[in-house]
Structure formats: C-alpha cells, structure tokens
Amino acid sequence: MDQQLELLLEIQDLRMQRRELTDGSTDLEAEVFDVKIEDAIRLLDEKVEELAERLARGIRDRYRRIADKAPRVVAPVINGICYGCFVAVSTARASEADRNLRVESCEYCGCFLYHVG
Amino acid sequence: MQLRELFVPSAINLDLAAETKDEALKELVSCLGLDGKSEGILYKMLKRRENLGSTGIGRGIAIPHCRSLVVTRLRVAFGRKLSGLDFKAIDEKPVRYVFLIVAPPLEVSNQYLPVLGKIAQFGKEADVPESLAELSSPEQFIELLEAKDL
Ligand SMILES: [Zn+2]
C-alpha cells in the first residue's frame, strides 16, 4: 500500500474516533471506560495534526481542503462504489493487485479512495 | 441481531498464547482473517484507542474496540488468558477475558455501539467472569450468551 494512503487512512480512522467521542459513544466511553472526553479529543487532534504534517505537500494541501469542509476525507471503495458519494468510480477498473498502490481521489466527491476487501 | 450470531468459532480463543496486552490485541486481530496490511492498521488503531484510556473495565474483562476503514462489517472476537494480562485496567487487576469489537465507519444496521454496550453490560454481570473461566469450548461460549438471551 502507498505510504501516503496509509497515513490518510490512519488520519481518517482517528477523525472518525474523534467524531464518535463527541457524537455517539460519549456516554459509553465516559461511564464504562472512564475516558476523559476532553483530554481524549485533545490527544486525537494532536495525533491527526502530527500525521497530517507527514503528508507530502500536494496531498496535504488537498487533504486540508477536504478536511475543512467534510468529516470524511477518505472514502472506502467497495465493489467499485465510492462510499463517499455512492457513485461507481472508474478506478474500480484497476486490477486487485494495483489497488491502493497510489493515492487516488473520487472524481465526483473528491474524497481520497481506499479499496476495501 | 443477537450477540451470539456475531461470534464465529474461529474468533473464539480460550487459550491465548499472548503474554502481554499488545500481543493479545495482535492475536485477536489475527482471528479476523484480514490481510497483513489491514491487520497492522487495525492493531495501530486499537492501540491508539487504548492510549485514550484502557478498555479494561474491571473484574478481569477488557473490551478493546474501534472503527476502521479496513473492515467492511462489524467483527467481534473473544480471547481468554487464565493466567491474566496486564491491561492497565480501571481496577488495576489482570485481564483474563478480552472482547474485541471492530466496525467500519459506516454500517447499514448501526450495530457497533449497541453491541459495545451489550458486551459491557454482559461483562458487569456478577456471575460472568466465573462462567467465562469455566468454558471448555467455543460452543460453550455461544451457549453462555444464549443462556443470557444475548
Ligand atoms: Zn465519491
């Protein structure tokens, strides 16, 4: 897998974790797991920023443009469908071995694409 | 959807080889049948979640959990280490029972949080640690969930 894509994937998973902490699992995390929500959010923000700084210039610029507007920066592609916009993406033509070997974006919604499965 | 329908025998390990928390996370992730790269990413995410606070909820039970793009559906696994693992649990006691829960960012049926809640509740029942200690096969684990109507 492309290393930049791997970074983007990690960033996306952490952003998801952050979003869920404020909107979804807040009570569960605080009450069952004794997570200090504000501290956790701060840690996640710091980690996301640290990873974003490791992105190559062009990809980082694109990442920031998407990240400012939408919660999702990387969309999974499952069976050729971009799950950011639910449109079939042309990159689905790529053979399985070629998948995730470079950073690609959805031409419709702009999300970076990660082929799953 | 009942909890027991989510557990497959290949993801129930009653005798973990792991000696540490990290090894236990790796061993449970490896039960899910993902490719090596995905396993690595998932392990990293689980570790990052542990960094926010241990998922060891006390009484020997831990519930590591996260969402990740590398899985396409909700996946669960159970591992047991009777000699105990240092999980930095809330009660500082060793963890002997580990429930792993991972889900994709988007799920059609939105089961992740309900499943996490159900397992946490199950883990808090008084007789559960003892019942888990007595299991001798994955099938008995499923039967235990069935007996609890889960
Ligand atoms: Zn799209």
B9, B139 contact by CB (below 8 A): yes
CB spacing of B69 vs A116 below 8 angstroms: yes
In angstroms, the CA B45 to CA A27 distance is 21
In angstroms, the CA A99 to CA A97 distance is 6
List Cβ neighbours of B122 (8 Å cut-off, separation of 6 or more).
Answer: B3, B128, B145, B148, B150
pTM exceeds cut of 0.90: yes
Residue B65 confidence class, pLDDT cut points 50, 70, 90: very high
How far apart are the CA of B147 and the nearest CA of chain A, in angstroms? 24
**DSSP state letters, B71-86:** -SS-EEEEEEEEEEE-
Chain B contact for A78, CB < 8 A? yes
For residue A1, the model assigns a pLDDT of 85
A10, A51 contact by CB (below 8 A): yes
Q: Write down all domains in chain A, each with its CATH number in brackets.
A: 3-116 (1.10.287.1490)
CB spacing of A13 vs B67 below 8 angstroms: yes
Strand residue runs (E) in A1-117 = 74-78, 81-82, 87-88, 112-115
Question: What tens digit of pLDDT does each residue of B14-30 get?
Answer: 999 999 999 999 999 99
In angstroms, the CA B138 to CA B85 distance is 20
How far apart are the CA of B91 and the nearest CA of chain A, in angstroms? 11
In angstroms, the CA B126 to CA B59 distance is 9
CB spacing of B45 vs A6 below 8 angstroms: no
In this prediction, residues B22-43 reach a mean pLDDT of 95
For residue B68, the model assigns a pLDDT of 95
In this prediction, residues A82-100 reach a mean pLDDT of 77
Instruction: Say what percent of chain B tops pLDDT 70.
Output: 100
Rounded distance from Cα A74 to ligand 1 centre (Å): 9
CB spacing of B48 vs A74 below 8 angstroms: no
Number of cross-chain residue pairs from A and B with Cβ atoms under 8 Å apart: 73
Of A24, A72, A78, the CB nearest to B113: A24
Query: Using beta carbons and an 8 Å cutoff, which residues of B are at the interface with A?
Result: 37, 41, 44-45, 48-49, 51-55, 57, 63, 66-72, 90, 104-106, 113, 116-117, 120
Residue A29 confidence class, pLDDT cut points 50, 70, 90: very high
Virtual CA dihedral for A28, A31, A34, A39, nearest 10 degrees? 70
pLDDT at A41 over 60: yes
- The amino acid that residue B106 corresponds to is L
Of B53, B105, B120, the CB nearest to A40: B53
Q: Write down all domains in chain B, each with its CATH number in brackets.
A: 3-147 (3.40.930.10)
Rounded distance from Cα B75 to ligand 1 centre (Å): 25
